[in-house]
Amino acid sequence: MKKVKFIYNPYSGENLIIDKLDKVIKIHQEAGYTIVPYRVDKNVDVINAFNDFKDVNYHYVLIAGGDGTIDSVVNAMAKVGVSVPIGILPVGTANDFGKFLGMPNDIIKSCKQILNSEVTAVDLGSINDKYFVNVASTGLFTDVSQKTDVNLKNTIGKLAYYLKGLEELPNFRKLKIKIKSKEMEFEGHMYFMLVFNGQTAGNFKLASRAEATDGLLDVIIFKAIPIIELIPLFVKVLRGEHLDSDNVIYFKTDNLCIESPEDIVTDIDGEKGPDFPLNIKCIKGGLKVLGVKS
């Protein structure tokens, strides 16, 4: 039987994967695969999941978790030089990257879609010495995911992010930023910015024009504008019309540099990102994935 390394995060979402472990194993065994599980633990580096890769020829890595779990596994694979394809079971709170690739929420359907697919090389983002699969961001509210209690996320799901975001409103202020790429140069004030490899963040489809295999990242900068103009802008976001707004800078690029003197953090796929300055690139076809829906 061919072997599959199964890395699952029991803390993701509403702990859904725990009740589905037997079904995941069963459907793979019926397809001629042996599952070798690895449980993600808060106090153990996920890189340990790959300790046996020198001795075992794995067909692919199956990941059950949200964007943060996928991100950590992809970064660990890069560190140890593992280049086998991945398959995604989206069981996290948002699952933005899995949805972007067309993975269904139903675990059994996702398994079958993976097992009946060919490998697709999709783009991968890099930020300084790390990788991101869905989005890198900075500015206001970008560390909400980092600050949101895991138990609260598991209890009330995406609502936990929104509640935490409300707590951050007193810190609302404009931020100085300098951005440079061959397509765009900007030096001024903004509220926040996102660099997408995927399309959505927290299930908001902000980068509707992003593609998985075009070799480009979609950059969205929400400029600092008078408070009175924010509500109309938010309405445009809900309608998907914000990319053409005068209050938003939007462009595609494969390489950009970002500098800021502000005391703000960066976020990559819901986890803490590196400090400024940032050098962000798109690695065209840098990630091999099974189950991608065309």
Catalytic residue positions, numbered: 271
CA distance 150 to 281: 30
What letter does residue 246 receive in the DSSP assignment?
Answer: T
Token representation of residue 208: 């509707």
What distance lies between CA 188 and its chain's CA centroid?
Answer: 27
Q: Which residues contact 205 (CB under 8 A, 6 or more apart)?
A: 199, 240
Token representation of residue 152: 């609260």
* Peptide linkage before 277 cis (omega within 30 of 0): yes
The length of the chain is 294
Give which of 285, 287, 279, 286 is closest to 129, Cα–Cα: 279
* Residue carrying the six token digits 């995406």: 158
